[in-house]
Amino acid sequence: MDAKKNSQKTGNEAEETARKLLVKKGFTILHRNWRFRKYEVDIIAENADFIVFVEVKGRTDTTMGEPEEFVTKQKQKFIISAANHYIQERDITKEARFDIISVLVINNNITVKHLEDAWYASLK
């Protein structure tokens, strides 16, 4: 399997792992891979208190760092822009939260980290 297909497979598996985790924690999944212009939010979910915009990062090794370290400031800005559009378009009144779910798969061992409030939307 070539590197791009392997990376896509890892990403898809990580998103499914993240979806299952969120459902287990009582979230309702509203969208997967929701797009606004060139921006994409991996998972949009909600519970009684929050609407949560989730970036999922899956990796098969940590030689370049932990999966969550790959969510750049630029990526965060893109997700915030998409989230603002989503909230306004749907007249959402719940508090928004930005989470990262990190999925690391090494030798069939899966490590999942759910980083709640991974970053905040600044008012700038």
DSSP code at position 71: -
pLDDT tops 60 at residue 1: no
> From the CB of residue 62, how many other CB atoms can be counted at a distance below 10 Å?
12
Closest-CA residue to 82 (of 33, 18, 48, 27): 33
- Mind listing the domains of the chain with CATH numbers? 3-119 (3.40.1350.10)
Q: What is the mean pLDDT of the chain?
A: 90
The Cα–Cα gap between 90 and 100 comes to 23
pLDDT tops 80 at residue 69: yes
pLDDT given at position 12: 85
- Segment 76-94 mean pLDDT: 94
pLDDT given at position 112: 95
pLDDT given at position 8: 75
DSSP code at position 27: P
- 108 pLDDT band, cuts 50/70/90, is confident
3-state class of 7 per DSSP? helix
Q: pTM for the complete prediction?
A: 0.91
pLDDT given at position 5: 60
State pLDDT tens for residues 10-63: 778 899 999 999 999 999 999 999 999 888 999 999 999 999 999 999 998 888
